[in-house]
Amino acid sequence: MWTEGESEGLQTLGIVVVLCSSLKLLHYLGLIDLSDDKIEDELEMTTVCHRPEGLEQLEAQTNFTKRELQVLYRGFKNECPSGVVNEETFKQIYAQFFPHGDASMYAHYLFNAFDTAQNGSVKFEDFVMALSILLRGTVHEKLRWTFNLYDINKDGYINKEEMMDIVKAIYDMMGKYTYPVLKEDAPRQHVEVFFQKMDKNKDGVVTLDEFIESCQEDDNIMRSLQLFENVM
């Protein structure tokens, strides 16, 4: 069995992978631009298959200003002129991020987390709402978003089968060239460590409250949630 330090590292790794991979996707789609290039004040709304909601409404629903939303939309429009992204695009993007692994299942789970309407497509509004949480949301909002990713069947609980699916997807995505080399039973051990820490009442499932409480007790996870607060 792993030591306490190793188990804490695993929990932090899981949170960081979620945040890093999500933000890499958003950067690829043009929603995060770290350059200093100036953008025109006027938002150019060209004809696309999907037009976003009014910026005033998005401003009220997110932690972004209207100016920031204009910049975000321009970047998204340049990379996604149709205005929507489907699951296959997610898989293609993650295949480029992780060429030594198989990221298809992780991309599938992440797509479902972004596709809040569960209609098979992700719009600009969906990305902006997620970006607002990941970059500027409260600790509870960030952890709730992560919990939703792990809760595959959306029943409000994380069971061992769901966690095993997520962990396997992360290991498959990282590929066989990790160091140190992972043992064959590493995913199962990771899940056991997760449930020992998170399943407070030992009923075999992890609730949102248990997840948030356990993460807040972990200084490493709390630090990882602050890594990207100054991206924009």
Structural domains of the chain, ranges and CATH numbers in brackets: 57-137 (1.10.238.10), 140-231 (1.10.238.10)
Q: What is the DSSP string of 186-213?
A: HHHHHHHHHHHHH-TT-SSEEEHHHHHH
Q: Which helix (H) or strand (E) holds 161?
A: helix 160-174
What pLDDT shows up at residue 22?
66
Q: Coil, strand or helix: which one is 126?
A: helix
Q: Is the pTM of this model over 0.85?
A: no
From first to last of the 232 residues of the chain, give the pLDDT tens digit: 444 444 444 444 455 556 666 666 666 666 555 444 433 333 333 333 455 657 889 999 999 999 989 888 888 887 778 888 899 988 888 888 888 889 999 999 999 998 988 899 989 899 889 889 988 999 999 999 999 999 999 999 999 999 999 988 988 887 765 545 566 777 888 899 999 999 999 999 999 999 999 999 988 888 887 776 665 5
